[in-house]
Amino acid sequence: MQEHLLLRALKGETLDRPPVWMMRQAGRYLPDYMKLRAQYDFFTRVQTPELACEITLQPVDQVGVDAAIIFSDILVIPQAMGVEVLLEEGKGPLLPNTIKDQKDIDALITDEVERLSYVFDALTLTKKELNGRVPLIGFAGAPWTILCYMVEGKGSKSFDKAKQFCFSQPALAHSLLQKITDVTIQYLNRQADAGADVVQIFDSWSGMLSPADFKLFAEPYLLQIVKGVTKVPVILFPKGSWYALESLSTSGAAGLGLDWCVDPALARKFTNNSITLQGNFDPCKLLAPIPEIKKAVTEMIDAFGATRYIANLGHGILPNIPVDHAKAFVEAVKEYQPKN
């Protein structure tokens, strides 16, 4: 049996069309997901393997994507480290007890990744239910992004508290980043054991950093993760950090995710066409009329090329996207014909 398109794309094999999936594909734009959301709170959905599996499968069955990504959350890592995480629907996460000093860092737990056994159970169950139809993607948040939440306590437009922590107490920041990194490597390797075929690292807030600060507080830890996760290919998604494409292209990662602010030709140039790129359709463009979506998708693939490329959005799908528009995005990739 031939290997899945996603895995072939990550190996750089020549393809007629790229694989396609969408970040946050398992969730808030799907009516069946909304029914489950009305019945169960967020962490019940994440921590119940049968529910996480059902939600993970929905976009495979209903939208036709070429890969499943496990339904979970990046903030399970702080939870495993002993930090309380609250989540109210529509309001975003809240971490009431933020990290402020060495005492807080010393109190963090780094050797109990099995606290996240519900994620591993969900992966194993989903892998079985998929029965080889499409590959299964696991994920984690990047250390810098997790630090942002652990220090800031919530989402932010500037993450000024988190950045002040790093700039005024760099030794403490590096100590915290290292602890997050150590747990994340254990977590991702266990995801691979449980059935993940690929893992993605979401550095959702790396674009908050200048190139110099990215080199200091984000990149070293991303490189450690790529080196430490040995069992499956790793995709890095440093959102907004276009300036890091060149150095990350030699990191050993199998793929690099791009947001919609990066020109495909420039991304190829920065990476010397040496790595599989993923992205970078503006999620808001899924609100355009369906013929416009299909035209824009074709133009995007033409710009990237069908090889060493995974069609995706430049960030997570929005809650107000009609399901038929999401399907049109996927269909346009599947119908792609390369120019002669």
Asked about 24 being catalytic, the answer comes back as yes
Asked about 28 being catalytic, the answer comes back as yes
Q: Is the peptide bond before 280 cis (omega within 30 degrees of 0)?
A: yes
Query: What is the band of 90 on the pLDDT scale with cuts at 50, 70, 90?
Result: confident
The answer to the question of residue 322 being in a domain is yes
| Residue-number span of the structural domain to which 206 is assigned | 5-334
Among 17, 29, 66, 73, the active-site one is: 73
- Of all residues in the chain, the percent with pLDDT exceeding 90 is 97
Averaged pLDDT, 173-199: 98
Averaged pLDDT, 224-240: 98
The answer to the question of residue 216 being in a domain is yes
The answer to the question of residue 339 being in a domain is no
CATH number of the domain to which 260 belongs: 3.20.20.210
Among 8, 28, 115, 133, the active-site one is: 28
pLDDT at 88: 78
The answer to the question of residue 328 being in a domain is yes
Specify the residue for token string 């519900």: 118
The answer to the question of residue 340 being in a domain is no
Domain count, the chain: 1
The answer to the question of residue 22 being in a domain is yes
Among 24, 190, 268, 308, the active-site one is: 24
Rounded (10°) angle between helices 170-194 and 143-152: 120
Query: What is the band of 91 on the pLDDT scale with cuts at 50, 70, 90?
Result: confident
pLDDT exceeds cutoff 90 at 185: yes
Asked about 309 being catalytic, the answer comes back as no
Which tens digits make up the pLDDT trace of 52-71? 999 999 999 999 999 999 99
The answer to the question of residue 36 being in a domain is yes
Taking Cα atoms as reference points, which of 133, 134, 136 lies closest to residue 120?
A: 136
DSSP 180-244: HHHHHHHHHHHHHHHT-SEEEEEETTGGGS-HHHHHHHTHHHHHHHHHH--SS-EEEEETT-GGG
Backbone angles phi, psi at 200, to 5 degrees: -120, 140
Asked about 133 being catalytic, the answer comes back as no
